[in-house]
Amino acid sequence: MKLLMISGDRSLASGKAGAFSETIAELCKHFERIDILCPRVQATQQVRVLHGNVFVHPSSFGLWYQPLWILKKGRELFQAHHHDIMTVHDYPPFYNGIGARLLKRSIGIPAILEIHHIVGWPEASSISETIGRLMTKFFIGRHSRKFDAVRVVNATVKATLASWGVVNEKISVVPSVYLDHAMIESVKNQEKKFDLVFAARLTDNKGLLPLLGSLVLMSGKTLLVIGDGPMRKKAELLATSLRVSTRVTFVGWLPTARDVLAGISSGRIFVMNSKSEGNPRVAIEAMALGVPVLATRVGIMPDVIEDGVNGVFTDGTAKDIAAKASVLLSDLGKLEAMGREAEKISGRFEKTAAIKTYADFLKSLAL
């Protein structure tokens, strides 16, 4: 069976390792051939071949031309290889989905619309996210009718899309969180060097600034920040102005996934303070490592956290983070028990089984 995938993720075309590359490395075992169409990458426009049967095709044009390029390139590939199913990862301004609709009308194969994350939902962190949320709310119902099925990655997104006009029976929840059990086991039980750990791309949406503010209310508590991004300089300046910089360690991007997991394991509490998310994999990895998670109610987190049992919810403000974290850190025995409960998440997201479930879902809708 052959799969045609339309994605906005440039990482494979750029040669970068990450969650998408790990997914494709396992997914390709379930298909004879996978062709992936993605936006332009400055470094190359060459087709990249991975694992012998995955072909990554970056566009030669800018994003405004992406729908027409998807139609042209997709039709060319279909004529050569006769794919059985098409799936598209979509988000505002929906150039992937518009291109997929044009292509579906041309070649006639079943098409799946995948919505991993609703931009700006439940809370927008910028004007552009507010616009993205409004675009989704008023466009997604009609847009989704042109597809044979809709895949979402958690129950919250399903409920929201259904309330915005997507036919409920069309929506399937197929999580995209996959855990590498061997790697997780290899780094468990690191020496606890930090009270709190945070790991993410440093953007406003991730909620690092309120977390830094919470340290003012927690005397002597320490924080490890893993990741980099446009908010790093602002975050470092804020830590200095709040006089907590000696208690905050910024390490940037770590070299390997194993290093990231080891860093998370070196903390007593992992903080996931995002305003909106799909499946924050790093938070699930923290739970699998036995590190309790203090999280906002976004993405998959309401599906996996039982408040006060295997993690704790926060409203994301500095005051609430400080209050919840202080209670947890005041009783390390209870915190360790919460970590043991959190570890039980591992069985739900074993990588091989989870990706097979995704592959079987795609195949079930094929010609």
pLDDT tens digits along 132-152: 999 999 999 999 999 999 999
What is the identity of the amino acid at 115?
Answer: I
Name the residue among 208, 207, 217, 224 with its Cα closest to residue 286: 224
3 state SS of 25:
helix
pLDDT tens digits along 219-246: 999 999 999 999 999 999 999 999 999 9
Domain ranges of the chain: 2-178+350-364, 181-347
| pLDDT mean over 318-327 | 98
Band (pLDDT 50/70/90 cuts) for residue 349 is confident
CATH node for 2-178+350-364? 3.40.50.2000
Asked, colleague to colleague, whether 2-178+350-364 and 181-347 share their fold, the answer is: yes
Best mean pLDDT range from 37-46, 116-125, 296-305, 332-341: 332-341
The confidence score (pLDDT) of residue 10 equals: 86
CATH homologous superfamily, domain 181-347: Glycogen Phosphorylase B; (3.40.50.2000)
Please, are residues 305 and 313 in contact by the beta-carbon 8 Å criterion? yes
pLDDT tens digits along 273-287: 999 887 788 999 999
Band (pLDDT 50/70/90 cuts) for residue 176 is confident
d(CA 60, CA 62): 7
Query: For residue 183, which phi and psi values (nearest 5 degrees)?
Result: -65, -40
Cite the DSSP H helix spans in the chain.
11-14, 19-27, 66-81, 95-107, 127-144, 155-163, 181-187, 208-215, 232-241, 257-265, 281-288, 301-304, 318-329, 332-343, 351-364
| pLDDT mean over 306-325 | 97
Structure tokens at 314: 């926060």
User: Burial, 235: exposed, middle or buried (Cβ in 10 Å; 0-12, 13-18, 19+)?
Assistant: buried
Q: Say if residue 164's pLDDT is above 90.
A: yes
Q: Say if residue 186's pLDDT is above 80.
A: yes
The three-point CA angle 64-205-132 to 5° equals 35
d(CA 213, CA 90): 35
d(CA 27, CA 183): 19
Band (pLDDT 50/70/90 cuts) for residue 200 is very high
Between the alpha carbon of residue 206 and those of residues 29, 167, 210, 227, 258, the distances in Å are 34, 31, 10, 11, 22
| pLDDT mean over 16-29 | 87
d(CA 28, CA 284): 24
